[in-house]
């Protein structure tokens, strides 16, 4: 992995991804974009019991949306629901317990949800950064299972439901960290070489951006986008990146600032008029590659990623149906 890419990315981050970067970008935000009612619209937000997911849930609930919080931990999920309801004065906030690293559970949730609810917007926010190579009970590497395969299964399983709704959207919370990674479709589960959790996470985030581009090309009726929240002060950053947090804590964005673009993409009319498949930072579509970084994959590699995910996802769906 290139030292050039890392250095350019970090300098860019200091200028753009910090709280001061957000404040500079926010000067050109149109306030009216978020002055909307989303009453009657249904939203799923994964990883919604803290951080950016919870902040997004609050903003959407305040505007009248029906919000489905998809969380792994029951106690924290109930606490999050209580906070969101209190802040928004909106009782239409529902908890669903799903471990996004368990593909069978993701299929099961999506299938049950589709039978019982409508859906206008899916926000793929759940993520993890495990710093040691750890396998799930299905022998899947934990970061890949959660960030990539879980996101892939949930989205593809819910696309038919989304297509029945007016102005359907899918927003995937990726990361600017993906800029330091070129897609490596030959080693999706980090079986080769030494394991680096931060780089595994960045590779997953690159995969999410490519998935978004591919879905946008395949499903014209749904508006897809991915986004970078910037460097935000969230529980996940504190626990997964303690050294980074210690160095940067005074420069980090608030959770609400990190969530702003995801909310804008989920509810504003302006966002839905942008082309589908783009990557956003602070309400603007930005490049998915650093200058001269040699991080572009070929169309064949992108297609191979989707084929491998489809094959893996189907394996778990098959067992689920016949269990």
CA distance 68 to 315: 27
Q: Is 201 a catalytic residue?
A: yes
Please give the pLDDT value at position 237: 83
The strand pairing partners of 156, in sequence order, are: none
Give 202's contacts (C-beta < 8 A, 6+ positions apart): 175, 177, 178, 180, 181
Please give the pLDDT value at position 323: 41
Nearest to 196 by CA among 130, 101, 295, 149: 130
Please give the pLDDT value at position 240: 79
Please give the pLDDT value at position 30: 98
Of the residues 4, 201, 245, 319, which is catalytic?
201
- Residue-wise pLDDT tens for the chain (323 aa)? 578 888 989 999 999 999 999 999 999 999 999 999 999 999 999 999 999 999 999 999 999 999 999 999 999 999 999 999 999 999 999 999 999 999 999 999 999 999 999 999 999 999 999 999 999 999 999 999 999 999 999 999 999 999 999 999 999 999 999 999 999 999 999 999 999 999 999 999 999 999 999 999 999 999 999 999 999 988 888 887 888 878 888 999 999 999 999 999 999 999 999 999 999 999 999 999 998 888 999 999 999 999 999 999 999 984 444 44
For the chain, give the number of residues.
Answer: 323
Give 29's contacts (C-beta < 8 A, 6+ positions apart): 283
CA dihedral for 264, 8, 216, 197, sign (positive or negative):
negative
């Amino acid at each position: 992995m290139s030292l050039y890419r890392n250095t350019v990315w970090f300098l860019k981050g200091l200028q753009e991804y910090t709280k001061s970067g957000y404040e500079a970008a926010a000067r050109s935000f149109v306030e009216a974009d978020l002055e909307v009612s989303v009453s009657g619209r249904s939203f799923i937000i994964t990883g919604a019991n803290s951080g950016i997911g919870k902040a997004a849930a609050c903003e959407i609930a305040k505007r009248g949306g029906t919000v489905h919080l998809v969380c792994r931990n029951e106690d924290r999920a109930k606490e999050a629901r209580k906070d969101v309801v209190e802040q928004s004065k909106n009782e239409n906030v529902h908890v669903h317990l799903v471990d996004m690293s368990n593909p069978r559970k993701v299929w099961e949730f999506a299938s049950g949800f589709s039978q019982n609810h409508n859906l206008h917007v899916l926000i793929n926010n759940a993520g993890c950064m495990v710093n040691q190579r750890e396998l799930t009970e299905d022998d899947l590497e934990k970061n890949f299972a959660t960030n990539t395969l879980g996101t892939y299964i949930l989205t593809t399983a819910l696309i038919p439901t989304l297509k029945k709704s007016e102005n359907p959207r899918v927003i995937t919370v990726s990361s600017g960290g993906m800029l330091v990674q070129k897609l490596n479709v030959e080693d999706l589960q980090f079986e080769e070489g030494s394991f680096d959790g931060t780089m595994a996470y960045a590779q997953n985030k690159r995969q999410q951006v490519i998935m978004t581009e591919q879905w946008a090309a395949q499903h014209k009726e749904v508006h897809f986008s991915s986004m970078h929240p910037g460097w935000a002060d969230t529980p996940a950053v504190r626990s997964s990146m303690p050294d980074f947090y210690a160095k940067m804590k005074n420069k980090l964005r608030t959770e609400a600032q990190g969530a702003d673009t995801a909310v804008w993409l989920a509810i504003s009319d302006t966002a839905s008029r942008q082309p589908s498949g783009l990557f956003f930072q602070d309400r603007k579509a930005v490049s998915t590659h650093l200058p001269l970084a040699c991080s572009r994959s070929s169309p064949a590699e992108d297609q191979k990623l989707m084929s491998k995910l489809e094959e893996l996802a189907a394996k778990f769906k098959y067992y689920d149906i016949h269990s």
